[in-house]
Chains A and B, each alone.
Chain A
């Protein structure tokens, strides 16, 4: 088993809990009726996002999806701006014009959050192409789900990335469902990573609930890309422990699937690893308490923040209207 540096592990844990506590807070607000917006829960996928972001440098680019809270907060978008955007406020990353499905924050490398399944991969290639053209040494990571693997753009982008040896990492978070359709009902191949071979690209499937598998796999893919050796497809097996979006019915998930995903929950597993690494319960609890305090302050700030001016609907259409 690949060992992870103790500091890096702490970094991953902190990011993971930031993602998880943000998700918990969002659901609490939605359930309490404090806010009413579209939100795609990330419960069960926290570790994959956190470990992947921990494998990147600050300057690296990320393209994610509507279920992108994990990448966004783990990459480091300031919480006040993130919550501001999710609540449609003028203080948000996008002045409240993007929303939960379209968070953009170039300062932290979150370049596009797409609401269209599979559309991020071709765009990630372009970001990587710019890095290849200008030699800035950046790597681009694009995150998507198993559902995206069946869209034409996936195929086009994988082929093009390998053709040009672009510095890009394709991270498939295989959460076993594409929207409301189970993996076995949309795909008949045993996994997504095996498709990489068809493009001449390395592909690897790892357990996304095991930090010792997911972090080293993404890190190797990032390092490879940065060395100029081209793209890698990393498939992290994980579970979407909620419905497709907050409030949507997921009674279609069979009981055995639910039992399986509860047993594989990445959070208790990660906590155990932390304890094995001689972090104390007190230390870990303190980290979570600190994150909660930050989140609560950010939420209060966002709730109190002003709404965008209505004339924003005419702005940022073209440069002339900026």
Chain B
């Protein structure tokens, strides 16, 4: 099988969904061929195939973009709306939280809202305080939304297809630093079901529960610590909310130790909820408190060395694991 990047994986998933279902269409800033197929080229080549009605380049109007996606979804279509950078969700939270997420419930099940909101973010590229944040916890706190993020190209293809199939809103987070990752193409029609985590690496001493780009850090750490005789299991949530509790708890029951890891700031992060849940349900087997690693509680800084100091790093992860193992 061919190797594909995450960008290509997303493009292939959207392409095949559009080919199969005329109700699938994309809208967002700069998404059409006239603007080069999206700032990160995820919708490249699709205007030529499906026309400008189905690859709608929009004004810079996040509220109108998500509102239009909500309305089209209520009328039975399956819009894929792009919010160019995740921080811009601040402009359209009303449409996402008060409308997309709640319309199924408030209508007594009459009007589900099947939209995919694609958005990009990531710390480590020098974009500074308003273009870098991972804001998944904002949405994980809202009932009625799936929050999804892939850590590799195969999952990107499979999660995107599953997200387009889903009959509810999905916040689909793409990490800028993952677009160029290459892996084997899982092929047409591939789907990764929402709400199913993956064991990215098996281990017996501690479970790292993470998602997105930090899965790569966790795998590096696992490799490194294996040399010291520490066996790390890496759980890639893939769907952050609602998350695969069964897989997480089974992993922790096996290892007896857990560490949550995310790029988002640590306080009130998804790691806190997962840690609390593990402690409630695995108290009998836990060998110590669940550890949490996350970003620094400040805005993402610009200068490269500040940004690197801000982001959770492998040293911190190793330190927390060793502390948990009593090996510091």
Contact = CB atoms under 8 A, between A and B. Distances in A.
B198 to A, nearest CB: 20
Interface string A124-145: 1111111111100000100000
Given A119-B98, A164-B56, A127 B64 contact: no
A97 B105 contact: yes
A156 B72 contact: no
Interface in B38-89: 53-54, 56, 58-59, 61-64, 66-77, 79
B99 interface: yes
A271 B196 CA distance: 63
Interface residues of A, number: 49
A9 B144 CA distance: 44
Nearest to A120: B67
A63 B70 CA distance: 12
Nearest to B167: A319
Given A122-B67, A126-B73, A133-B54, A319 B112 contact: yes
Interface string B78-122: 010000000000000011001100011111111110000000000
Contact of B63 (A122, A133, A140, A319): A122
Interface stretch (A16-24, A108-116, A232-240, A282-290): A108-116
Contacts, number: 158
A267 interface: no
A157 B64 contact: yes
B74 A127 contact: yes
B166 interface: yes
Contacts of B73: 126
A202 interface: no
Nearest to A136: B75
Contact of A125 (B22, B68, B111): B68
A95 B104 contact: no
Nearest to A319: B167
Interface in B161-185: 166-168
B157 interface: no
B108 A160 contact: no
Given A94-B106, A112-B111, A119-B95, A130 B242 contact: no
A153 B108 contact: no
Contact of B59 (A131, A134, A163): A163
A124 B71 contact: yes
Given A156-B64, A318-B144, A319-B168, A123 B108 contact: no
A10 to B, nearest CB: 31
8 contacts: A102-B106, A122-B64, A122-B66, A123-B71, A125-B64, A126-B68, A130-B71, A318-B242
Given A119-B94, A126-B67, A134-B22, 19 more contacts: A97-B108, A102-B107, A114-B99, A119-B67, A119-B98, A122-B63, A126-B71, A127-B71, A127-B75, A129-B56, A129-B68, A140-B71, A153-B63, A153-B64, A153-B94, A315-B109, A316-B108, A318-B104, A319-B168
